[in-house]
Amino acid sequence: MLLSVVAVLVGLSFLVWSADKFVDGAVGVAKFMGMSTLLIGMVVVGFGTSAPEMVVSALSAAQHNPELALGNAYGSNIANIALILGFTAVVRPVVVKNIALKRDLPVLMVVTAFSIFLVSNLSVTRMDGVIMLAVFALAMGINVVSEMRQKKSLAAAVVEEETAAPVSLWKSLFWLLFGLAILVASSRLLVWGAVEIARTLGVSDLLIGLTIVAVGTSLPELASSIAAARKGEDDLAFGNIVGSNLFNTLMVVGIAAVIDPMEKVSSSILYRDMPLMSVLTVLLFVFGLPVRKVNGVRRGRINRIEGAVFVVLYISYLVYLVLEATGRL
């Protein structure tokens, strides 16, 4: 038991560190290739901070623990919105641009509804996984093409530091590859520790995936979102969350299903976790509606009160999970 706890703690520590280095490397390579900061936030950083979920779920599926994979993906989505974006908004209100409301959030809501449809029969087949990966590729393609078309107008809104040091391609490639290697190793350690704890305590893999693993693999999003918001990079903070949830819902679950089809999914995912994930996604859209003026311009903004609502919902969710697991509900 003690060894398992140490494995989880060490795995989480290296997971966060390696994800940070992986993101630094990915952003460096992207900047060297001339990609816009907004595109980096939505695609590269979103992918980088979701890499822990992707690796953990893939390894969980390979070790025949599909519910840990699902719990990690959907639990991370819930944590991304309710805990991470909520806490970020409490620290500093997050401005939501109209393009996110018109394009990114509607896509996320459709993808969320689509995932519920696929899991509604309490199974995720290999074909379902292939479909998810195909939809993910389509959604990312649409986002990239849309961003590239608006590159000229977005260039004026993106502020680059004139004193920034030149981007080193080789250094960025090193951290990209080295960070990924440590990411894989720490994820394997984390999965082993989490599964052993679940077995020792008699707690389901799903619950461990929804709580310990989900929060642990979401820490990169928390760190990057708070840092971006404090620097005034609202696009990066918001795009990181939306992009990460798209990756989790489609790519993370899709890869896990292709590796090891999930023939029997717990019904609690349908009546408890996916509905909450859907409600949070809709609330994200509602809270972001441009009903107030920000710096003289009518823009959406998730304020501190709305952020606190998200955090309270997440704490309530965790309490419910614990009470249910201990048989008090």
221-257, pLDDT tens digit by residue?
A: 777 777 777 777 777 778 878 888 998 899 999 999 9
Fold entry, domain 2-151+170-325: A middle domain of Talin 1 (1.20.1420)
State in Å, rounded, how far the first CA of the chain is from the last one: 27
* Rounded (10°) CA dihedral 155, 244, 105, 211: -150
**Residue range 141-155: average pLDDT?**
65
Work out the average pLDDT over 156-185.
68
262 forms beta bridges with 124
Q: Are 247 and 139 in contact (CB under 8 A)?
A: no
pLDDT of residue 40: 65
- The confidence score (pLDDT) of residue 163 equals 44
pLDDT at 62: 83
CB atoms within 10 A of CB 282: 12
218 burial via Cβ count (<10 Å: 0-12, 13-18, 19+): buried
pTM: 0.77
Rounded to whole angstroms, how far apart are CA atoms 54 and 65?
14
Determine the pLDDT at residue 156: 47
Provide the pLDDT for residue 41: 64
Q: Which of 189-198, 288-297, 317-326 has the lowest mean pLDDT?
A: 288-297
260 token code pair: 């090891």
**Helices (H) and strands (E) in the chain — how many of each?**
17, 3
